[in-house]
Chain A
Amino acid sequence: MMRRTLTLAALALLAVAPLVLAEYHVTLMNYIGLAGIVTLGLVLLTGVGGLTSFGQAAFVGLGAYTTAVLTTRYGVSPWLTLLAGLALTFIVSLCLGFITLRLSGHYLPLGTIAWGIAIYFVFGNLDLLGRYSGIAEIPPLTAFGWSLSNDRSFYYLIWAVALLALLVMRNLLDSRSGRAIRTLRNRSLMAENFGVDTARLKIIIFVYAALLAAMSGWLYAHFLRFVSPQPFGLNSSIDYQFMAVIGGATELWGAMIGAALLTLLKEWLKDLLPKVMEQSGNFETIVFGLLVIAMLHRTRDGLVPYFVRLIPAAPRRLQSVKTRPLPQRAQPERGELILQLKGVSKSFGALAAVKDLSFDMRSGEILGLIGPNGAGKSTVFDLMTGVLSADNGEIHFCGARIDDLTGREIARCGLARTYQHVRLLPSMSVLDNAAIGAYLRGREGVWSASLRLDRAEEARLRHEAVDQVGWVGLGGRLFDAAGTLPLGSQRMLEIARALCADPRLLLLDEPAAGQRYQEKQALAELLRALRQRGVSILLVEHDMEFVMGLVDRIVVMNFGEKLAEGSPLEIRRNSAVVEAYLGSVT
């Protein structure tokens, strides 16, 4: 309850602040709120999504200049210019996002730096925008005959927007889309395998952050009633990024705390340093830079996450909600041809990882794919799930050709997998990790999640996740961070996640690795029960005892080629297989 108390205390302080603070401090608080709104966008973009932008100030400028020009030149109502500014920002950020976000990480910061500089010079050189001297006499905001012309009244508007933005962001992150956004940072490959369109989500959060910045710009223009290019340059963008990093880009409150710290620190240094040093100069940038470096050396995640860890969170309990279970996919007829590989090949340079591999699989079957290390088993999985594309051959799944589809299209066909190297989100709860698997079984998007219109579907998704986690035996650890589980349990969680996708075919990459004897037995029981339910399973595994006792049929690979195929008994007696595993006696 500590955290809730703290939040309430912070809100109460914010509410009474303008009544007790001096005019100057209220103005400072307004600046903090304005910066906080922009930084909140960066928390989503950078802290959660792992994308960096040095162009946020340019979006603030876009919002500010749109309203400045439209209200002073054309007398448009400020409330309409807000919409115009947001629309313009939407279009610009969508275009920018489209061209930079498909590329790997470091193009976005560089692309946004360039865009920020370019737009800065446009602000400074267009007659329409008042060149470097800017636009003055922007009208104040009025609502219901009330004019928000002093700092105290504006304080409430700014902070209402800031807190609303905070609330909406919290809603967003606690949803189907929110879970998917969290995968962008370094689990996007896995997310694609569960049907998440990561490129699209990246663009969405980029646009989202840009819109928050434009909102702040609109407020800024009517708060100051004057705009000039200077606060929308690269340095301001850098400041916003600093605020996010210092506050702690993984916690929403970090945005506000970072904005406050940085704004106050700058004010304080401006006052203090000329007294300490005789010369006037740019000493605040030096001290400031040094503080940022020192802080990041101490705590990489920023200040708020550092302190949040010290405050106990309320223990979370599962609330039983009455909800209909999610609809299930019809499993194909038992014995029907479900998977077919025809002459599949894949080479990495001169190394042929898979050579002319063909095999079939029938519905309701557990097929073991075995072979010595480096035989190409995991490559086969990657080819089947769109992680790699085959050089030659065809893969058919449930009647559709899948070898030229992307990972998420394949996921739609009903194919789910686990990974040889576990790909969970270690800081996210077991429950949320599993729920990622059910991504394709929901449809609510970013906007409905932000407005909490997704709760009915969310309850069904979570219900499914709780079921599957319980089914693999982790029901007692629903709210623990996935990274705290032992490796064997993490593998079980990966299976639960795959089951949440309601698959027709389950690909398991070494599920028994890291499990103890009893756990292996339980795993085998579980897989048999799945087969009973009509799910087909393709299994890569090294533990021969485990494989032999479980599977219906085995395909043996060696050096990328199929060496043998047959029932466990036939494989045991096959001299070529024995030779591949144990070497030949000559």
Chain B
Amino acid sequence: MDLAIALWLCQDAVTNGAIYALIALALVVVFTVTRVIFVPQGEFISYAALSLATLQSGKVPGTIYVLIGGGILVAALDTVAVLRRKSVQPLLGSLLANIFLPVAIAAAAWWSASRPNDLILQIVVTLAIVTPLGPILYRLAFQPLADASVLVLLIIAVAVHYVLTGFGLAFFGGEGLRARMFPDLQFRIGILNISGQSIGVIITSALLMVLLALIFGRTTYGKALRATAINRIGARLVGISYEFSGRLSFALAALIGAVSGILVSPITTIYYDTGLMISLKGFIGAIIGGMTSYAVAVIGSLMVGFLESYASFLASSFKESIVFTLIIPVLLWRSLMTRRVEEEDES
């Protein structure tokens, strides 16, 4: 391995690591707020990447049907809740948000499919399709079991992953898709060619992280999420709705997933089931951060990126084995740091 290859691998590592870091952040947000170990996070990535690639080829992506179908179900559930007087939420708002909005987004998708060269529009439409899926999933699958144990929530998450992957296969087929390169730039620094794509990934990831930090540090909504993460009952007592925090955290996760998907779509070919691998690597980053620390999760994800990149050069067929084995020394270290027995209060 000479210096040029080493540097090139390094660039690759940082690019991938940045994506894993975004996923790790989303996982930490969702876990701390709702206790859901959100396995389907990867599906947001593949949905976004595949939707964008489909739009570029002038077709309408099947994800809009998931969006519309999910929206109708949510509206139906809300209507039933109002009829049974379990909820005092105004019905009109739910209908607008869950039926009117998805239909409008679908219309925008039709329109943007006919304009294959309008990249910005297609990116916006892709974000608009994928982001609402987060709160819809939360409402349908997780909210009815909000007080269940971490295990039950995890099983639900895995089932949701199955359903979404199934839809992914049905709508996009087994063939992988790759989006067209964004307008590309090449930089030369010494012996290293740096692609504009990588820089785009790194800058966008960094911006998104800063944005998240601002949301959590400065806004009332962000503080509400943090409060729910720290003490659910306490947050409820001061008037922060658990349902609201859950939906908001899922929306953030979906948005982060969608952005990551758009970022990777021109770099790698994405298949309907690629998302799981990406999100599992994000998981390793999140685990390194103990599922609670954002900063350590980011560092951990970068580590995963480096390990993956160099392993793929040195022992490519064992790349995945090496990456997933990384978790073992990390867990060992964490294990040696804890001394006392923890008691989980689960009902």
Residue positions of A touching B, CB distance < 8 A: 46, 50, 52, 96, 98-100, 102-107, 109-111, 113-115, 117-119, 121-122, 125, 185-189, 192, 198-199, 238, 241-242, 245, 279, 281-286, 288-290, 292-293, 296-297, 300, 407
Out of A199, A238, A282, name the residue touching B169 (CB < 8 Å). A282
Partner among B31, B283, B332 whose Cβ is within 8 Å of the Cβ of A99: B332
B156 contacts the other chain (CB 8 A): yes
Q: Taking beta carbons and an 8 Å cutoff, which residues of B are in contact with A? A: 31, 37, 141, 144-145, 148-152, 154-156, 158-163, 165-167, 169-170, 280, 283-284, 287, 291, 317-322, 324-325, 327-328, 331-332, 334-335, 338, 341-346
Q: Which residues of A contact B328 (CB under 8 A)?
A: 96, 99, 111, 114-115
Q: Which 6 A-B pairs have the closest CB atoms?
A: A286-B166, A289-B162, A289-B163, A118-B324, A285-B166, A292-B159
Separation of A198 and B163 alpha carbons in the complex (Å): 37
State the Cβ distance, A287 to closest chain B Cβ, in Å.
8
Q: Which residues of A contact B154 (CB under 8 A)?
A: 52, 106, 109
**Inter-subunit contact B320/A121 (CB<8 Å):** yes
Question: A293 touches which one: B159, B335, B338 (CB < 8 A)?
Answer: B159
- A117 and B346 contact, Cβ closer than 8 Å, known pairs A103-B335, A245-B155, A288-B162: no
Contacts A99-B328, A114-B284, A125-B318: A186 and B343 contacting too (C-beta < 8 A)?
yes
Contact (Cβ within 8 A) A282 B341: no
A296 touches B332 (CB 8 A): no
Kindly identify which residue among B141, B159, B160, B170 contacts A283, using a CB–CB cutoff of 8 Å. Answer: B170
A121 to B284, CA, bound (A): 17
On whether A282 and B318 interact (CB within 8 A), knowing A50-B346, A110-B327, the answer reads no
Given A105-B150, A114-B284, A115-B328, 16 more pairs with CB closer than 8 A? A102-B335, A102-B338, A103-B334, A111-B287, A111-B331, A121-B324, A122-B321, A187-B343, A192-B341, A241-B155, A241-B158, A282-B165, A284-B166, A296-B152, A300-B145, A300-B152
A297–B145 alpha-carbon span in the complex (Å): 7
Whether B346 and A292, one on each chain, are in contact in the complex, defined by CB atoms closer than 8 angstroms, is no
In whole angstroms, what is the CA distance A281 to B168 when docked? 10
**CA A198 to CA B327, docked complex, whole Å:** 24
Q: Are B280 and A117 in contact (CB under 8 A)?
A: yes
A189 to B152, CA, bound (A): 22
Q: How far is the CB of B269 from chain A (nearest CB, A)?
A: 19
Q: Judging by beta carbons under 8 Å apart, are A114 and B280 in contact?
A: yes
A98–B335 alpha-carbon span in the complex (Å):
8
Q: How far is the CA of A113 from the CA of B42 in the complex (A)?
A: 15
Could you tell me if B344 and A198 are in contact, using CB atoms closer than 8 angstroms? Answer: no
Given contacts A52-B151, A300-B145, A289 and B160 within 8 Å (CB-CB): yes
Contact B163 A118 (CB under 8 A): no
With a CB–CB cut-off of 8 A, which chain B residues contact A117? Answer: 280, 320-321, 324
Structural contact, A297 and B152, CB atoms closer than 8 A:
no
B160 to chain A, nearest CB (A): 7
Task: Write the chain A residue with the least CB distance to B333.
Answer: A99
26 contacts between A and B (CB under 8 A): A96-B328, A100-B335, A102-B335, A104-B344, A106-B31, A106-B154, A107-B331, A107-B334, A109-B151, A111-B327, A115-B328, A117-B320, A122-B318, A186-B343, A189-B343, A198-B341, A238-B158, A241-B155, A283-B166, A283-B170, A285-B165, A288-B159, A293-B159, A296-B152, A296-B156, A300-B145
The winner among A283, A286, A289 for most chain B CB atoms within 10 A is A289
Distance in angstroms from A43 CB to nearest chain B CB is 13
CB distance from A382 to the nearest CB of B (A): 11
